[in-house]
Amino acid sequence: MSALPKTDTLPTLDFRRYHDPAEQEAFFEDLRHAARTYGFFYLSGHGVSEQLQRDIVAVSKRFFALPEADKVAVDMANSPHFRGYTRAGWERTRGEADWREQFDVGAERAVIRQDATTPPWSRLQGPNQWPDSLPGLKSTVLEWQGELTRIAIELLQAFAIALGQDKDVFGPIYEKAPNQHLKIIRYPGRDATGSDQGVGAHKDSGFLTLLLQDVQGGLQVERDGGWIDATPVPGTFTINIGEILELASNGYLKATVHRVVSPPSGKDRLSVAFFFGADLNANVPLLTLPDDLAHEAGGADADPDNPLFREVGRNYLKGRLRSHPDVAQRHHADLL
C-alpha cells in the first residue's frame, strides 16, 4: 500500500479533559471521532510519572543489552504460558517472521490445574520468567503494568460513557482477572534483518493497547488504502482500539490494522506495549447503543483468515498459538 500524505496525522487527546466537567462532553465527542476515524490516537495528560517512563525505557535497554545466554535462559519456549524472551524472527504475523526481539510478561497468577473440563485457554495463566542477571526488571515492569492497568480502566470507563453506557458496563468481564499482557520490544536496524517487517499488519485482540514509543518511528496505521506514520510524541501514549471493543459496539468502534516497519540501518526502535484485555473466561457482550450511534454501527469485520470469537479466551489463545508456533508445538501440540 502506498503511503498517505504526511499531513494526515493522528489526533492527540488530553486525558485531563475527561476529569473536567466543563470539558467532558467535548472530550467524549473527540474520543468517538478519533476512535471511529482512525482507531488510534495519542493520549496526553495521563498522569504516569516522567520518572517511571524513563525507568521502563532504561531497564528495557538494559535487558536487550544482556548477553545472549542470559536472555535465552528465559526463552519463551520454556513457558507454556507464553511468557519470556523471543529472538528476532521467532514470532510470526500471518505466517511471516517479525524482525523484533521482545520480552513478554503477563499478570503474576498461579497455574490452573488442568483436567478434562478445564478450558484450553486456562493454560495461559501462570508465572512469568525473570532473568537472574537483571533483578531490577521485575519491579519496574510490574509497577509499569499496574500504572497502565489503572489508565486503561479509566479510559475504558470513558469509552463506556461515550457509548451511552454506565461507566462500569465492562466491569463484569475484566474485574475478576483482567488479561494484562506487556511486551518490551526492540526492532533492530534493517541491515540485520533482510526484511522491513518489524511486525506484520494485524489488529489487537483486547480492549485497548497503550504503547510507549521511544524516539525512533516505524509504527504505521492503515487508513483509506494507505498508511499513516504514528510518529513518537514525547509524553504521550499511542492508544489503539482492540477487537473486544469492536465486538461489543457492533462495529461502531473499529480495531484498526497496523504494522511496524523496521528502522533504517544503524538505528534501533524501542517500544513498550501494554495490552489490556478481559478475563479469559468471559464472553464479550453486545451493547445496546443509543439510536444515533447504533445506526452508524456496521457490525464487526468478518475475516475468514482471522475469525472473531466472543469467547475471550478462545480468541486470545488462537492468536498466541499462531504467533509462537515453537511454543505451541512444544507445550500445546494437542490443540494444533
CATH code assigned at 290: 2.60.120.330
Domain that holds residue 228: 12-335
Q: What's the total number of domains in the chain? A: 1
Look at residues 275, 212, 287, 306 and name the one whose alpha carbon lies nearest to residue 249: 287
- Indicate if the alpha-carbon torsion angle 328, 330, 332, 336 is positive or negative: positive
Alpha-carbon span 221 to 167, nearest angstrom: 28
Q: Report, as an integer, the average pLDDT of 199-219.
A: 94
How many percent of the chain have pLDDT more than 90?
84
pTM: 0.94
Phi, psi (rounded to 5 degrees) for 131: -75, 130
Give the model confidence (pLDDT) of 135-161 as tens digits.
999 999 999 999 999 999 999 999 999
Considering the domain boundaries, does residue 5 fall inside one? Answer: no
What local confidence, expressed as pLDDT, does residue 143 receive?
Answer: 97
- Indicate if the alpha-carbon torsion angle 92, 93, 99, 103 is positive or negative: negative
What local confidence, expressed as pLDDT, does residue 22 receive?
Answer: 97
**Burial (0-12, 13-18, 19+ Cβ within 10 Å), 127:** middle
What local confidence, expressed as pLDDT, does residue 4 receive?
Answer: 41
Considering the domain boundaries, does residue 7 fall inside one? Answer: no
Give the model confidence (pLDDT) of 236-290 as tens digits.
999 999 999 999 999 999 899 999 999 988 899 999 999 999 999 999 999 999 9
DSSP secondary structure string for all residues of 1-28: -PBPPTT----EEEGGGGG-TTTHHHHH
Least reliable range by pLDDT among 101-105, 187-191, 316-320: 187-191
Give the model confidence (pLDDT) of 30-71 as tens digits.
999 999 999 999 999 999 999 999 999 999 999 999 999 999
For residue 227, pLDDT over 60 is answered with yes
Give the model confidence (pLDDT) of 64-90 as tens digits.
999 999 999 999 999 999 999 999 888
Q: Report, as an integer, the average pLDDT of 303-326.
A: 88
Distance of CA 136 to the CA centre of its chain: 23
Considering the domain boundaries, does residue 196 fall inside one? Answer: yes
Maximum C-alpha span of the chain: 58
C-alpha grid cell, residue 90:
521467532
What local confidence, expressed as pLDDT, does residue 194 receive?
Answer: 60
Distance of CA 124 to the CA centre of its chain: 16
What local confidence, expressed as pLDDT, does residue 81 receive?
Answer: 97
E strands, the chain, in order? 12-14, 40-44, 84-86, 91-93, 96-98, 101-106, 179-187, 197-202, 208-213, 219-223, 226-229, 237-241, 258-261, 269-277
Considering the domain boundaries, does residue 1 fall inside one? Answer: no
Q: Report, as an integer, the average pLDDT of 309-328.
A: 93
Confidence band for 176, pLDDT divided at 50, 70 and 90: very high
Alpha-carbon span 327 to 323, nearest angstrom: 9
What local confidence, expressed as pLDDT, does residue 69 receive?
Answer: 97
Query: 85 with 72: CB under 8 angstroms?
Result: yes
Considering the domain boundaries, does residue 2 fall inside one? Answer: no
What local confidence, expressed as pLDDT, does residue 1 receive?
Answer: 36
3-state secondary structure 283-298: ECCCCCCCHHHHCCCC
Buried b (16+ CB within 10 A) or exposed e, 132-160: eebeebeebbbebbebbbebbbbbbbbbb
What local confidence, expressed as pLDDT, does residue 89 receive?
Answer: 87
Contacts (Cβ under 8 Å, ≥6 apart) of 66:
131, 133, 134
Helix (H, G, I), strand (E, B) or coil at 213: strand
For residue 307, pLDDT over 90 is answered with no
Alpha-carbon span 19 to 154, nearest angstrom: 10
